[in-house]
Amino acid sequence: MTDNHDCNREADGLPSFGGADAELIERRCLYQGFFRLDEVHLRHRLFKGGWSSEMVREVHVRHDAVGVLLYDVERDCVVLVEQIRAGALDDSESPWKLEIVAGLVEEGESTAEVARREAMEEAGCEVTDLIELHTYYPSPGACSERVTLFCALVDCDGLGGVHGLDEEHEDIRVHVLPFNQAWELLQVGRLDNAMCLIAFYWLAAERASLRARG
């Protein structure tokens, strides 16, 4: 029997279903540390009509995050940070990764506040002008985290050195690179995380107009 729910929308980019078309049957915490792992029991409407049977998934529950690409329009330079990453310990090249400034959203903070706070903590850089780029799920099949990306127009004069918070075991080296040099690193796979890739492809498309505006 065909469900009366209309899932045959025009190809307008909208999802066929909404939140009411999924049922959370049970959520159970499997592990609670800095992050949390939940076991989720759910069922959902089907494109062909009716409902799925109960299914079980593990979901990595994380704080939302913010990334901010620091860009000096006048000098055509970007500011990147380098630090060790536990998730990349088995990387054949190196577990130290070049990234844009990033951090987690704490309760009561706006994403713009996080961008400014992390720019100061990780790079010693004061941020005023912020351009919001995208908000996205890095891995919605298994993780609740949403990431908001910004580009900040900054003055990189005098930036460098080692930064980070001792209580968070941060040991972060700041690199100021000409855009073309950073782009070459991206092309050879040295900038290999999603935040970096998305932010840099945005900057590559918008860089000429940003420089023209000054």
Pairing of the two strands 172-178 and 36-44: unpaired
Is 99 an active-site residue? no
Q: Which two tokens stand for residue 142?
A: 């298994």
From the candidates 168, 170, 184, 206, give the one annotated as an active-site residue. 168
Instruction: State the catalytic residues.
Output: 168
